[in-house]
Amino acid sequence: MRRLISVAAATTALLVLAAPTFACGGLIGPNGAVNLLRTTTFAGYHDGVEHYVTSFAFAGGEGEFGSLVPLPDVPTSVERGGDWTLQRLNLETEPQPVFAAEAARLGGADGAEVLLEVRIDALDITIQRGGGPEVGAWATEHGFRLPPDAPEVLDFYADRSPIFLAAVFDADAAAARGQAIGDGTPVHLTIPTDDAWVPLRILALGKADAEIVEADIYLLTDEIPSLLPAPGRPFGPEGLELTHSAAASDLLLSDLRSDAGMGWIPERAWLTKIRVDGAASDITFDLAVAADGGTPSAVDAGFAPVGPTPAPWSTPRTWGLLALAVSLPLLAVWLAIWLSQRRSTPPLADA
């Protein structure tokens, strides 16, 4: 049975700078860091196809900046996203003041196999297939340097899906186009997939442990999704909060459907919003989503290694339950025998 999984690929935190700086041997300089603004991502899953919309908005800088997004599968199209889908979702899930209508107006490698190249506004987007070494080689060939945690993080993703989106943002071209700092370029990817997850760990790439990772993730699924890890639970992870979970209104669905490239929006759906707001050292997992309400994959969440699923009887939990199942009847039998013997023993006569 096909897994109905909604996926979001979160936007990246990896920022790599092509312009030369003056640290010894490095291209990412202490003065060259460019910060990504709070990331907003929308992922809808319907009829076996993920529709992923995100906005690349950079906080400033000159020259070119790079960004990597792990993807669950190979997209069939990458195009400019609708201009207000993300803003409309924000309006739906965040408390709006009385003057909401006014606010609404503001919304606004060597070895790597290149699968697709697209230019959207000031963004050069490349979809590539490859592991950590291939992506690293691609970055080097394009004048980027990856942060020191990149080898481990890239392997973390490549083991599950060796598909990456590399976006090169030309700040000079953006300025020439009149894009101001903070303006986003929405990108819409269409990804047929059965295996999906929301990549969160990538958001912490290149950040110091105490740095804060911020992102808003919207999921639109046919049913109420199950999430792993489950945000907001008593034992849920730090930095992950479920801020909205409700049936999507007809008005919202209609509005979304009328944006560019959003004609696939179904007649009914469930809207979930997850806020990521935590220290980089806490964001060590991804978000597995079972859109049919089933069991999310521990592998997709990064809690279990990729590989054959262990036999159910080989887990410590199963062994514990088995031991309990065997020992309880034995204990009951022993107790029954002990009680019967005790009853049959005559009391000692008084001396």
Partner 1 sequence: MTRRWLAALAVVAVSVVAAGCTASAATQRVEIGIHYSAFQPTEVTVPRGVPVTFVLTNDDPIDHEWLIGDAAFHERHRTGTEPAHGARPDEVSLPALGSAQTTLTFDQAGDIQFICHFPGHEAYGMVGVVHVE
Query: In the bound complex, what is the minimum distance in angstroms from residue 281's beta carbon to partner 1?
Result: 12
Residue 308 per-residue DSSP state: S
Torsion region of 191: left, alpha or beta (phi above 0 gives left; psi -120 to 50 gives alpha): beta
Q: Which residues contact 142 (CB under 8 A, 6 or more apart)?
A: 18, 66, 166, 168
SS3 199: coil
**Can residue 61 be called a binding residue for partner 1 (CB under 8 A)?**
no
Can you tell me the distance from the alpha carbon of 317 to that of 319, in angstroms, rounded to the nearest whole number? 5
Q: Residues 135, 200, 227, 248: which binds partner 1 (CB under 8 A)?
A: 135
What residue type is assigned to position 135 of the chain?
V
Judged by CB under 8 A, the residue of 1, 2, 25, 312 near partner 1 is 25
Among 5, 8, 14, 28, binds partner 1 (CB under 8 A): 28
Is 29 among the residues that bind partner 1 (CB under 8 A)?
yes
Q: Is 24 in the site for partner 1 (CB under 8 A)?
A: yes
Sign of CA dihedral 220, 289, 202, 237: positive
Q: Interface with partner 1 by CB under 8 A: which range of 44-52, 148-156, 287-295, 307-315?
A: 148-156
Selected range binding partner 1 among 18-26, 80-88, 266-274, 332-340, rule: CB under 8 A: 18-26
For position 19 contacting partner 1 by CB under 8 A, the verdict is no
| Binding flag, residue 307, partner 1 (CB under 8 A) | no
From candidates 73, 79, 83, 149, binder to partner 1 by CB under 8 A: 149
151 is a site residue for partner 1 (CB under 8 A): yes
Buried b (16+ CB within 10 A) or exposed e, 97-121: eeeeeeeeeeeebeebeebeebebb
Report the DSSP beta bridge partners of residue 16.
Answer: 66
Residue 284 within binding range of partner 1, rule CB under 8 A: no
Backbone phi and psi for residue 253, each to the nearest 5 degrees, phi listed first: -60, -40
Q: Cβ 133 to partner 1, closest distance in Å? A: 4
Output the six-digit token pair for 118.
Answer: 């697209």
Residues in contact with partner 1 by the rule CB under 8 A? 21-26, 28-30, 132-137, 139-140, 145-152, 154, 206, 208
